[in-house]
Structure 1
Amino acid sequence: MAYVSTGKEYSRDSRYLTTRITADGRDGYPVEPGRYRLVVSRACPWANRAIIVRRLLGLEEALPMAVAGPVHDERSWSFDLDPGGRDPVLGIERLQDAYFARDPGYDRGITVPALVDVPTGKVVTNDFARITLDLSLEWTAHHRPGAPELYPPRLRPQIDAVNEAVYRDVNNGVYRAGFAGSQEAYDEAYRRLFDRLDQLSERLAGARYLVGDSITEADVRLFTTLARFDAVYHGHFKCNRQKLSEMPVLWAYARDLFQTPGFGDTIDFDHIKRHYYLVHTDINPTGIVPDGPDLRGWLSPHGREELGGRPFGEGTAPGPVPPGEAVPAAHNPLGRAA
């Protein structure tokens, strides 16, 4: 869990388990369909990346998914959405059990996304930045026909550069503002966040996507923060110069992605709000979860088609959301409109 550190700048614990699941199994964990379980929470932006990439690439059957509830305590995410509060495959109530199976003395963050080796019940990795890249690069034998190329070799230097800046100032920047322990730390995070959003607006004013003419890993990483901006970051994290819906280019860009299969259909606004407003008691001690914002705007026309580009490049859109993985209709305007 993240807490405000009085008088200090927020610093994310980045000591991740970096073991990789690869096609050649060089770390001891070869890609095998059905062997691993992707544990996520729909509330978490870092986990949301993995959900989106898994869906875009069509890995639902090869890599089954476990969805933890939106609220956790200082111990762990828990599987309170499942019957009996226990994951039906791993047989555990809390994600911490899979971390302790890997290392009984584990003293780092028990985070999502996490890839768990089902036969042993051990977490293999929670390195969120590497997980999505490996889904693109190492799981190719199990991609669906027409899967998009999210990390094409010729664009990787550009994607990496965009991702670095977006992570520093936007993805993690909203947390640096929200958990700032001093006015100075908050002011710096706020300035860098909106400076970067202004630069991204300029970049996207004439381009439909961040890098190239189709969706890449860079768009996935920015989208999960934008999707949470008005619901959480604007008020809860004090990122309030403007709402996303008041930034015309970024709002249109976010709506374009939201309305693209594989993006908006992974978003659970109810889980997002419940997580941030109920878990961060030092920021929101009353535990009141706001009713807004009005979500209908996510379905309004965005006009980004005029910029050209093809969302999936040479590929095709993913099919319908698999049974059992759909976000409840009450939690997402796409479901309400269906």
Structure 2
Amino acid sequence: MLIGDVARQSGVSARMLRHYDSLGLVRPTGRTDAGYREYSSEDIRRIFHIESLRSLGLSLREVGRALDDPGFTPSELVDDLIRQTRERIADETELLTRLRRIGAAEPAGWKDVLQIVALLQALGSKSAGTRQRAALSSVEEVPVPVEALVEAALSETDPNVAGALRWALAQWGDGGLALLAEGLGSPVAEVRKRAVQSIAEIPNGEATALLQDALANPDIVVRRYAALALGARGVADAVPTLIDMVVEETNDVDAADALSALASRPAVADQIATRLVDCLADGTVESSARRRLTQALADIPGITTSRALADLSHDEDRAVALTAAYILGIRNAR
């Protein structure tokens, strides 16, 4: 078969077939009387083999090795091709994400595009100072797409930069809440923690609703951060978790402060006092935890608390009794 016929049948151009010949990949078996290349069926089969291997991303040199080296083992080469392909996909995905973010910012002109690109690059800088400045300027100058801020906030390890990113997200209001809510379900514990911390700084009803849902999160760290934030917002749903924090001595001072803030409403104050007393009566609670629970009663107003302190001043645990008597004395002196 002549070169033109082979090109039509295989889909490989005559020019490429000549290139294969010059490289020694496919040399036609024969020549016509006029000196034209004449390909055998075996030559054509080899051409199809070459095209198949090229479709996997192999270079012509690698194709030659694969076809001609009897000791060639493809596994290592295939593994390398898989790695290269994954890297290429990751690079293309990153580019696509960046383009989408630029588009979402609706730049008015190329100057805005360049500023957005610069801010996105700064958010990914190795320098914490550069990332922090980018976070602070992301709202005041050309706005960075909220998706980029959320991604940065959920991955940031530097506390100062993280604080700046949470501030920037708070300026968006509920703009990033849906993405932050997804972060609460991340398989990575640190991401879940950063998500709830970011939600806690957004002062609106939708954020409060997310924090209330977070009280049932399987991650105890998420539940604790949600409870502290809800306590500051006056949401009584946080009371059980806050009391657990006092018992477990985990941010117990902050938890006690949150309980005190919640107790400004009489109905909630009685609820808190009752729960604290119930915990104190639990025989499985350790002595140190009972002292902390007693101390937490100090800032809870109401008759329920006063009666509990009077009873506790005669508690078998001397430390608890002394703490209760001291608190009761201060309350009576007011």
Shorter-chain TM-score above 0.5: no
TM-score (norm 1): 0.29
* Bigger proportion of residues as strand: 1
TM-score (norm 2): 0.30
* Bigger proportion of residues as helix: 2
Higher relative contact order (CA 8 A, sep 6+): 1
